[in-house]
């Protein structure tokens, strides 16, 4: 897909004289995209690595987010999104030299900037409702609601890792 920096041109009166029509192509199955987005929005899944009170958490909002750091810590980045807003931040040296090894990572470099920007952007929008694609089912599993592609929801033992009383009560 070609990049086009000009999306719209308006005349002096605000009348649109050119508007780029977006090309849309579905490249990832909506159900798979939903599950990946749900995984990236799970603050509890990040708690072991980053703790719970991190720049990746936006209180009161469901945000899917990922960080990254390149080899030798030359770059680090954070990208996160909601259905309405996407923010990506990058930190690095323009001359491609490594950053301070002790200080630079996606969570300490790019994430604090990302947090400030996306928190501001989200403060200007209403939260869109969570839309679950028709091929996805929700099942209570291992202490929380989890999402599965239809037909795979019974492939996981949802009682296996939780502490239980003896004898174990039946779970339907």
> Considering the domain boundaries, does residue 101 fall inside one?
yes
Instruction: Copy the structure tokens of residue 82.
Output: 């909601």
pLDDT tens per residue across span 48-92: 888 878 999 999 999 999 999 888 888 999 999 999 999 999 999
Q: What percent of the chain has pLDDT over 90?
A: 53
User: What angle is formed at CA 127 by the lines to CA 56 and CA 125, rounded to 5 degrees?
Assistant: 90
pLDDT at 104: 74
Please answer whether residues 147 and 136 qualify as being in contact, where contact means their C-beta atoms are separated by less than 8 angstroms: yes
pLDDT band at residue 161 using 50, 70 and 90 as cut-offs: low
How far is it between the farthest Cα atoms of the chain? 77
> Considering the domain boundaries, does residue 148 fall inside one?
no
> Considering the domain boundaries, does residue 39 fall inside one?
yes
Instruction: Output the CA–CA distances (angstroms, integers) from residue 147 to 41, 92, 116, 122, 153, in the order listed.
Output: 13, 36, 30, 25, 8
> Considering the domain boundaries, does residue 135 fall inside one?
no
pLDDT at 108: 84
Its sign, for the CA torsion 105, 107, 112, 117, is: positive
pLDDT tens per residue across span 109-136: 899 999 999 999 999 999 999 899 999 9
Burial class (CB in 10 A: 0-12, 13-18, 19+), 76: buried
> Considering the domain boundaries, does residue 143 fall inside one?
no
Q: Report the alpha-carbon distance of residue 29 to residue 131 in Å, rounded.
A: 14
Its sign, for the CA torsion 79, 127, 136, 143, is: positive
pLDDT tens per residue across span 7-46: 899 999 999 999 998 778 888 999 999 999 999 999 888 8
> Considering the domain boundaries, does residue 63 fall inside one?
yes
Give residue 82's domain range.
Answer: 18-123
Q: Report the alpha-carbon distance of residue 109 to residue 119 in Å, rounded.
A: 17
Q: Which of 61, 63, 64, 66 is nearest to 77 (CA)?
A: 66
Coil, strand or helix at 64: strand
> Considering the domain boundaries, does residue 119 fall inside one?
yes
> Considering the domain boundaries, does residue 136 fall inside one?
no
Q: What percent of the chain has pLDDT over 70?
A: 90
pLDDT at 47: 85
Q: Report the alpha-carbon distance of residue 54 to residue 52 in Å, rounded.
A: 6
pLDDT at 160: 63
Q: How many domains does the chain have?
A: 1
């Amino acid at each position: 897909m070609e990049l086009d920096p000009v999306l719209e041109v308006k005349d002096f009166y605000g009348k649109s004289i050119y508007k780029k029509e977006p090309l849309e192509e579905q490249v990832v199955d909506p159900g798979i995209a939903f599950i990946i987005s749900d995984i990236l929005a799970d603050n509890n899944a990040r708690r072991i690595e980053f703790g719970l009170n991190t720049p990746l958490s936006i209180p009161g909002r469901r945000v899917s987010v990922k960080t990254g750091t390149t080899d030798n810590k030359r770059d680090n980045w954070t990208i996160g999104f909601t259905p309405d807003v996407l923010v990506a931040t990058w930190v690095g040296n323009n001359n491609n030299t490594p950053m301070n090894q002790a200080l630079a990572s996606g969570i300490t470099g790019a994430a604090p900037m990302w947090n400030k920007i996306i928190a501001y952007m989200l403060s200007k929008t209403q939260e869109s409702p969570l839309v679950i694609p028709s091929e996805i089912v929700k099942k209570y599993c291992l202490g929380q609601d989890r999402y599965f592609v239809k037909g795979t929801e019974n492939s996981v033992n949802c009682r296996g890792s939780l502490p239980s009383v003896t004898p174990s009560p039946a779970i339907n």
